[in-house]
Amino acid sequence: MVLKIAQITDTHLFADRKTAMRGLVTWDSLGDVVAEVRDWKPDVLLLTGDLTHRGEPQAYQHLIERIAPLNLPTYYIPGNHDQVDVLNQEFKDSPFLADNVFQRQGWQVLLLDSTLETAESGEGYVSEAQLQELEQSLTACSQPTVVVLHHHPIPMGIDWLDTIGVQNSQAFLNCLTRFPQVKLVLFGHVHLKFDELYQGIQFCGTPSTCKQVLREEAREQEAYPGFRGLRLFEDGTYQTEVIRSHPG
C-alpha cells in the first residue's frame, strides 16, 4: 500500500479570473496543473499557501471551483499573500479539512502556519506556539513524518529569496533534527523546484502553479507550472517528483 499526496502551491488567484501575474493568467495555469493532478490520482491534497494573490473571498471561491471536483481530502496552510481569516471562512466546508495534523497509512503529516503578521516583504516565522505544537506532535507519534509549511527553512542560494524565508529557521531545524522520524519537509513560497538532503531530512521546494523563479542556468521547462507528488510507503521510505504542465 502506498499513500499518494499531491502538493499544490502558490496558486495566486485573483478575484477576476482573467488577471495575469507577470504575464500568466493564474486561473488558466491552475486549470492545467489540476488536470495533471487528476491524472496522477492522489489520495490526499495539500495546498501550501499564497492560494490567492490579494486575499479576496471571490479568489478563494475560484480556487474551490478548481479543487472541489477532485473530491480529495484537502489540507491547507496560508502563505504571505493570503488573508487567514478569509481563507478559513471560505474553506470551512468539504473537501477542506482544517486539521493541522493527520495520520494515514503509517505516516504522520504536520502542517505549520509560517506567516508573520508584521512581515514587511513576505518573510516567514515559526512562532513559539507552533514550535511547541510541532515538538508535542513529534513526541506523541514516532511514525514517519512529513512537515509542511509555506516558507523555506533552508537557503535556496538566491540572495533576494533567501532574505524572505523562515527568519528563525535555526530554532525550527533544531527541533526537527531531534526527531529521527522526520523524513521530509515540504514548502512553497520559492516558486521553484528544490530537493536537498540536510541532516538526513529531505527538503522539497515545489514550483508554483503559475510563474516560477528562475535561476540563471534554468532550462526552459523549469518555467512551466507544476505540482509535487509524494509516494509514501508503509516501510517509511518515499519517492517524490515534480510534474509540470506544458503551457499553451
Smallest gap from residue 208 Cβ to Fe ion (A): 6
The answer to whether residue 123 forms part of the interface with Fe ion (CB under 5 A) is: no
Query: Which stretch in 22-30, 46-54, 94-102, 165-173 sits in contact with Fe ion by CB under 5 A?
Result: 46-54
Query: In angstroms, what is the minimal distance from the CB of 141 to Fe ion?
Result: 30
Q: Which is nearer to Fe ion, 10 or 90 (CB)?
A: 10
CB of 79 to Fe ion, least distance (A): 6
Residues 198-237 interacting with Fe ion (rule: CB under 5 A): none
Give whichever of 187 and 238 is closer to Fe ion, judged by the CB atom. Answer: 187
Whether the CB-CB separation of 124 and 167 falls below 8 Å is answered with yes
Q: Which is nearer to Fe ion, 121 or 197 (CB)?
A: 121
**Closest CB to Fe ion among residues 22, 92:** 22
The nearer residue to Fe ion, 50 or 113, going by C-beta atoms, is 50
82 near Fe ion, judged by CB under 5 A: no
For 56-60, the CB contacts below 8 A with 24+ separation are: 56/14, 56/15, 56/83, 56/86, 57/86, 57/89, 57/90, 58/15, 59/13, 59/14, 59/15, 60/13, 60/86, 60/87, 60/90, 60/91
Preceding amide of 95 cis, omega within 30:
yes
User: Which region, judged by CB under 5 A, interacts with Fe ion, from 50-58, 150-158, 195-203, 220-228?
Assistant: 50-58
Instruction: List, in order, residues 6 or more apart from 150 with CB less than 8 Å away.
Output: 9, 48, 49, 50, 77, 78, 79, 80, 113, 114, 115, 124, 187, 188, 189
Residue 50 binding Fe ion, by CB under 5 A:
yes
What is the C-alpha to C-alpha distance for residues 117 and 49, in angstroms, rounded to an integer? 14
Nearer to Fe ion, 93 or 160 (CB): 160
Hunting for cell 493541522 — which residue is that? 100
- Residue from 5, 6, 7, 10 touching Fe ion (CB under 5 A): that is 10
Residues that bind Fe ion (CB under 5 A): 10, 50
